[in-house]
Amino acid sequence: MKYWLVLIAFLSARAFASIDLIQNPDARDSISLNGQWNAIVDPYDVGDKRKFYENAKQETPDQLLEYNFASAQKLKVPGDWNTQDDKLFFYEGTVWYHKDFTVNKKSGKNYLVHFGAVNYLATVYLNGHEIGTHEGGFTPFQFNVNEQLVDGANSIVVKVNNRREPDFIPTMSTDWWNYGGITRSVKLIELNDSYVDDYSIQYVNGKVPQIKAKVSVKGKVAGAVELHIPELNVRQSLKLNSKGEAQISFNANPRLWTPEAPKLYQTELVYAGETVKDKIGFRYVEVKGDDILLNGQRIFLRGISIHEEKPSGAGRAWSESEDRTLLNWAKELGSNYVRLAHYPHNEKMLRLADEMGLLVWAENPNYWGIQFESDVVLEKAKQQFTEMLVRDKNRASIILWSIANETLNTKDRNHFLSSLAKTVREQDPTRLVTAALNTQTTTEYGHKIEDPLASVVDVIGINSYCGWYYDAPKDCANYKWVTEYKKPIVISEFGGGALHGWHGDENEKYTEENQVAVYKYNLEMFENMAQLRGMSPWILKDFLSPRRPLANVQDYWNRKGLLSESGEKKKAWYIMRDWYAEKAESFK
């Protein structure tokens, strides 16, 4: 392994011990660094040797300088480079980003540069100084820049590399597009000398219902943090210890959050003259036998899987309007739940799910054949989960943490994912652990679930493609599913591909009629699964994938969407919508 990859792995493992992320960055005073950035494509990685990070200017005509950000091409941030420039459609490698900005730097303030996500490796420089590195394409990170930031003109340079490597998460092969770039928002956050850094505010079910609040501050500790929830007449004081931490539990009887009535409470944390506002829902989730209980009531998860891709066409989705369109489609389908596959989606998506009443399966990108034998890779998986948890722990919509998708049943994998599940439960005992399994045993009557990972999770996720990758669609209806695990089962994926507008016989691949048949007969099969407590068909809309090159049909699009890449409904959409309408009435 190259030295720099070893270094990155070491930094990732070290970073897991102390994830430094500010809670609710959008509620803080900040300067947006979004917009047009200069960009230099660097396929041979010469930028480090030539010191692109210094953003040098040619001072005299005889000075040799082989780069110039000012005259380089322009890319939008947030955004992926693949869909902004046809020449970069398939590109995987290094791109150097640069932006100039000005700031009125104030004494007694703290300054953080915060990135929503960069895929996959990021090295950040401010005014020629390296301020930090981060590995992982779907989670936020930040760096304190008090020393490097100057009053007035500043220059930020980010080296971004999305090249796939065997010890990355996800690893070499995925069935989605490897969008490179600064794919989520960038901001310079201005904070007081002492400020609220992190907090969690959660409902605790019991004979007397309570709310439990935890808070931590950075900087010199000064007194207490005041928690206000005006609608509940809550005014609590959290007295800080010498480490700047405090927690409190108090009796409260909030209206609990549900998909039908997604109640959110305005909360305020007041400290050192500053108020951090958030909207938080209160609920609790548990498993009892074969059932998933939300606030003590049995629920059936009527869902759909979603990739973080733009609603119309290709490209990484990042804006609130794009996310709202995707989730509105889910609601139109009759969903009360979404599976956000196969990686952490952006924070706006989770906040909208809170607002719109959609339960969420949130997923760590342990996808297919990562290096389960590697302790370093295990630490990367824990780091990525922790970054997702720190960001999203106050979101009522998330009820399921998924630790993997479609992984082979091996000793190394079972050890790896058992260790990760232990970490998930230690860090967040309030939610359920799941994983999408596809290692079912085929029997003469159908399928048997006996993957040992099913003993680790709280809810068993099953990916099944009967009628598409194997068997004729009509054969699926008669198959039976059995398992010795007394747990709820969610069909995390099923479905088949269809090119919108292509019609023919129900046995002809890629016709809308074939997709209808796959859905129709699979739904008959699932009706006979006694432990079934939800499903999220694959997938909401067609999405780009380098594994799908079939000309004139796929054209690098995975065609399993119920909607086309531009949002047009296929015939199977209506099959699923009508089934959900019936299920909503029958499962009460």
3-state secondary structure 43-60: CCCCCCCCCHHHCCCCCC
Q: Return the amino acid letter for 92.
A: E
Position 534 scores a pLDDT of 98
Residues in the chain: 588
The answer to whether 469 touches 513, Cβ cutoff 8 Å, is no
Global pTM reads: 0.95
Q: Where are the domains of the chain?
A: 3-192, 206-282, 286-586
Position 406 scores a pLDDT of 96
Position 8 scores a pLDDT of 42
Cα dihedral across residues 138, 139, 144, 149: positive or negative? positive
The answer to whether 149 touches 126, Cβ cutoff 8 Å, is yes
Strands (DSSP E) along 307-438, which ranges?
Answer: 337-340, 359-363, 398-405, 432-437
The answer to whether 237 touches 226, Cβ cutoff 8 Å, is yes
152-180 burial, b at 16+ Cβ within 10 Å, e below that, comes to eebbbbbbbbbeebebbbbbeebbbbbbb
Closest C-alpha among 533, 73, 116 to residue 297: 533
Closest C-alpha among 357, 451, 358, 348 to residue 406: 451
Fold of the domain spanning 206-282: Immunoglobulin-like (2.60.40)
Position 439 scores a pLDDT of 84
90-102 burial, b at 16+ Cβ within 10 Å, e below that, comes to ebeebbbbbbeee
Determine the Cα–Cα distance for residues 190 and 142; give it in Å rounded to an integer: 13
Position 3 scores a pLDDT of 34
Q: In which residue ranges of the chain is pLDDT below 50? A: 1-17
CA 344 to the chain's CA centroid: 1
User: Within a 10 A sphere around the Cβ of 421, how many other Cβ atoms?
Assistant: 20
Determine the Cα–Cα distance for residues 389 and 188; give it in Å rounded to an integer: 22
Position 13 scores a pLDDT of 38
The H-or-E segment that residue 581 falls in is: helix 571-586
The class of domain 3-192 in CATH terms is: mainly beta
Position 246 scores a pLDDT of 97
Contacts of 74 (CB under 8 A, 6+ apart): 36, 37, 38, 39
DSSP-derived letter for residue 567 is: -
Position 59 scores a pLDDT of 85
Position 120 scores a pLDDT of 96
Closest C-alpha among 552, 563, 573 to residue 500: 563
Position 21 scores a pLDDT of 96
Closest C-alpha among 139, 167, 185 to residue 9: 167
Question: What is the 3-state composition of the chain as percent helix, strand, coil, each rounded to the nearest 5?
Answer: 20, 35, 45
| 302 Ramachandran zone, left/alpha/beta (phi>0; psi -120 to 50) | beta
Q: State residue 32 phi and psi, 5-degree precision.
A: -70, 135
For 486, the token pair is 């007394």
Beta bridge partners of 227: 236, 269
Q: What is the CATH number of domain 286-586?
A: 3.20.20.80
